[in-house]
Amino acid sequence: METSDNHTMNLPVRWAFLRTPNKWVSAVLIGMLAVVILLNAWVCDDAYITLRTVDNFVHGYGLTWNTVERVQVYTHPLWMLILSVGYFFTREAFFTPILLNVALSIAAIIVSVGRLSRNLITSILLAAMLLFSKAFIDYTSSGLENALSYLLITLFLYVYFRKDSSQKRFFTLALLTGLVGLNRLDLLLVVLPPLAYAAWGLPKPKAALLLLAGFAPLLLWEIFSLFYYGFPFPNTAYAKLNTGIDLLQLARQGLKYYANSFTSDPLTLFLIAISMAAAFASRKKQNMAVAAGMALYMLYIVKVGGDFMSGRFFSCLVPCGAILLVESITIKPLTAAIMTCVVVFVALFAPFPPIVSWGDFGSNAVYAIDKDGISDERRFFYPTCGLLRAGKGRAMPAHEWAERGRNLRSQPGRVTIITSVGMLAFFAGQEHYFVDTNALGDALLARLPALGRPFIWRIGHFTRALPQGYVGAIGFGGNMFRDKDPGAYYDKLRLVTRGRLWDGQRLTEIWRFSTGQNDYLLKPYWQEPMASATPSEINSQQSQGLAFGQAGLEIKLGGLCHGKLVQAYFFPSNEEYMGVFCKDSAPLCGFTIKETPSSMPDWVNWRIHATNEVQASGYDSIRIFPVGGKVGCRISRISIGDQPLSQPTSTAINPHRAE
């Protein structure tokens, strides 16, 4: 590693003060960043997914989301534990996560600007890069684990770039690597290559022992997770990575995630790219190892399809890239001035730079979600969840989902099906059982294929159809599944998530799940073909209608249609459906058919309106998927147009008839 003098070599006498750090300037820079962080501070809905577990834990219900079962809904055990300590003392769920996030973020900034910056030039440059990165500033709060990741990665690089090759240094790096993984497993990709480089040259047996000791916290957690939850990884991993969606489709979505970030926050991607290029151009193996870790993580982002939160996955690479950049190039006063100007210039192309994105920011949040399902989360939630929006007597967060949760608290003992599982579930309290159709909090649904794959999905929100009888099994106990195999799978899963921890049969089932011996019971869900019919075939079914299962129904129109209105009768009326207009097998636009409240299932006439874009393009098929797990879904009397349809006879239907 170069010394600080080498980074500012050949300076004239009048610039000599730039060779050394200035604690007062560093303090001002850190203070500026702290002010901007506080002005931008907020809490997102996903933070309350973890907070529901924290609340249950603090109140003696264990590390659970629904109190009656053990399901790991959080991806960040270390952050969850730190948040639990803070929440234990405050019992408050808005200011507590914000203040913890802000404290961790400022600590990371102190390490980077105050410690890793060995002279005044790099202090100013580092501060500018962090200050103007929207992704970095957005997630210095939010209630998620990013701020803790900032600190752990910054500490890792602080130790890594020290001029030391001792075994103590390697153990510290191994420990920090393990903590990075304990906070978020996928970030191991960033730090493992430099850790491997640090191990180079050490005696292999000694390095292996140090590595094992450093990884002890992570390994102990994995053992605990396997024993307590029955699975080594968070339920969210199974829900988001076990969807049945083609990898090529996910990769396309991942590239759209890059495009979204480039449009909304060009500085972040520019900084990441230029820092990696500088590291490889320096030909210093130590720097190239860090760049390799960043590159691996960038590829991983493409592979998994990115995220629905704009910039979130890139945010942890910002401090990493900023530190790597100043370690990889020789910085003179003129170079530093030019680079700082470039940082500011690129940042100004962002529609919402963090230095001005507060106050009434987010008032037009209806536009916060783009056509690819990627959202500017802070813009969406800031009006009701921003720190500056907290007023005297105003319950925070003030979002409608939080209000719905507070209202539900007075109606305990219910089983509720929801898709927004953060604030609503947290504020409803422990007495409510929630079925999460996106499967983040549901162990069974997380192991089922995503609804309507590969046609209907939003990244990070992979809706599952509820198996027939599943809600009844939850609400009344026992096995009420219509199909034998999924019911048997649920019984085994329920033993793992609800049974006594040391029960021998439970431990046996954990082994069977871990080795895939129970997977065959869910094969019908993964292999069930989609039903197919033309409008004439549907209309010929008379009163019985055409039956279809959870794999859905494709209505082949036999040619290109441009009609605005599609009418059809569906049974039962209290089922919910999702659908999509398609052209040449490619999805054009999705739609939702909500259930009709009814004490008795009956036929209901649904009118589906195609958007102007769909009409202009034309569509040649419509795909329909049942969501709510009702028995005996059927369709009858379909037409494209506004001519009236006669209602099928409901008395001829046996909803429990096997097809």
**Distance (Å, whole) CA 406 – CA 271:** 43
User: What are the C-alpha distances in Å from 397 to residues 50, 53, 405?
Assistant: 15, 18, 11
Contact by Cβ (8 Å): 322, 150: no
Residues 501 and 535 in one domain: no
**Beta-bridge partner residues of 375:** 309, 369
Residues 200 and 54 in one domain: yes
Low pLDDT (below 70) residues in the chain: 1-22, 116-118, 333, 363-367, 452-455, 542-543, 573-574, 595-601, 628-632, 642-659
Residues 459 and 567 in one domain: no
**Boundary (domain end) residue, out of 475, 502, 525:** 525
User: What are the C-alpha distances in Å from 247 to residues 251, 304, 305, 438, 451?
Assistant: 6, 8, 8, 19, 16
Q: Which two tokens stand for residue 547?
A: 């039956």
Contact by Cβ (8 Å): 272, 136: no
> Could you give the angle at which helices 204-214 and 216-228 cross, rounded to 10 degrees?
50
Count the alpha carbons within 13 Å of 510 in the hemisphere toward its beta carbon.
23
* Phi, psi of 609, deg, nearest 5: -105, 125
Output DSSP code: residue 653: -
Burial 288-310 (b: 16+ CB within 10 A, else e): bbbbbbbbebbeebbebbbbbbb
**Distance (Å, whole) CA 322 – CA 320:** 6
Q: Which two tokens stand for residue 263?
A: 């449009």
Give residue 1's pLDDT: 38
Instruction: Please count the structural domains in the chain.
Output: 3
Find the domain containing 411 and state its range: 400-525
**Boundary (domain end) residue, out of 502, 525, 548:** 525
**CA 259 distance to own-chain centroid:** 18
Residues 518 and 533 in one domain: no
- Sheet of 531-533: strand order equals 531-533, 553-561, 619-626, 577-583, 586-593
Location of structure tokens 């994105």: 357
Q: Which of 504, 131, 652, 84 is nearest to 340 (CA)?
A: 131
Give residue 659's pLDDT: 30
Give residue 363's pLDDT: 66
**Distance (Å, whole) CA 172 – CA 419:** 42
Question: What is the chain's length?
Answer: 659
Give residue 428's pLDDT: 94
Whether 223 is in a domain gets the answer yes
Location of structure tokens 């059927």: 634
Count the alpha carbons within 13 Å of 313 in the hemisphere toward its beta carbon.
29
Q: Which two tokens stand for residue 652?
A: 């001829």
H/E element holding 623?
A: strand 619-626
SS3 510: helix
Enumerate residues 6+ apart whose C-beta is below 8 A from 252: none
**Boundary (domain end) residue, out of 466, 490, 525:** 525
Residues 443 and 306 in one domain: no
Residues 300 and 430 in one domain: no
Residues 509 and 547 in one domain: no
Enumerate residues 6+ apart whose C-beta is below 8 A from 180: 149, 152, 153, 156, 187, 188, 190, 191
Residues 40 and 119 in one domain: yes
DSSP 180-198: HHHH-GGGHHHHHHHHHHH
Whether 585 is in a domain gets the answer yes
Give residue 16's pLDDT: 47
Residues 541 and 562 in one domain: yes
**Distance (Å, whole) CA 401 – CA 395:** 13
pTM of the complete model: 0.87
Give residue 601's pLDDT: 60
- Sheet of 565-571: strand order equals 546-547, 634-640, 565-571, 604-609
Location of structure tokens 């001829």: 652
Tell me the residue type at 422.
G
SS3 557: strand
Residues 519 and 555 in one domain: no
pLDDT in tens, 580-629: 888 888 888 888 877 655 444 677 777 888 888 888 889 999 888 887 66
pLDDT in tens, 238-294: 999 988 888 998 999 999 999 999 999 999 999 999 999 999 999 999 999 999 999
Residues 503 and 533 in one domain: no
Give residue 5's pLDDT: 42
Whether 388 is in a domain gets the answer no
Tell me the residue type at 482.
R
Q: Which two tokens stand for residue 16?
A: 């000599």
Give residue 568's pLDDT: 83
Contact by Cβ (8 Å): 324, 290: yes
Residues 26 and 48 in one domain: yes
Whether 136 is in a domain gets the answer yes
Instruction: Report the CATH number at residue 543.
Output: 2.60.120
Whether 432 is in a domain gets the answer yes
Give residue 355's pLDDT: 84
> Could you give the angle at which helices 146-160 and 95-109 cross, rounded to 10 degrees?
20
Whether 648 is in a domain gets the answer yes
Whether 659 is in a domain gets the answer no
Tell me the residue type at 528.
E
Tell me the residue type at 263.
T
**Beta-bridge partner residues of 533:** 555
SS3 579: strand
Other CB atoms closer than 10 Å to residue 425's CB: what's the count? 27
Whether 545 is in a domain gets the answer yes
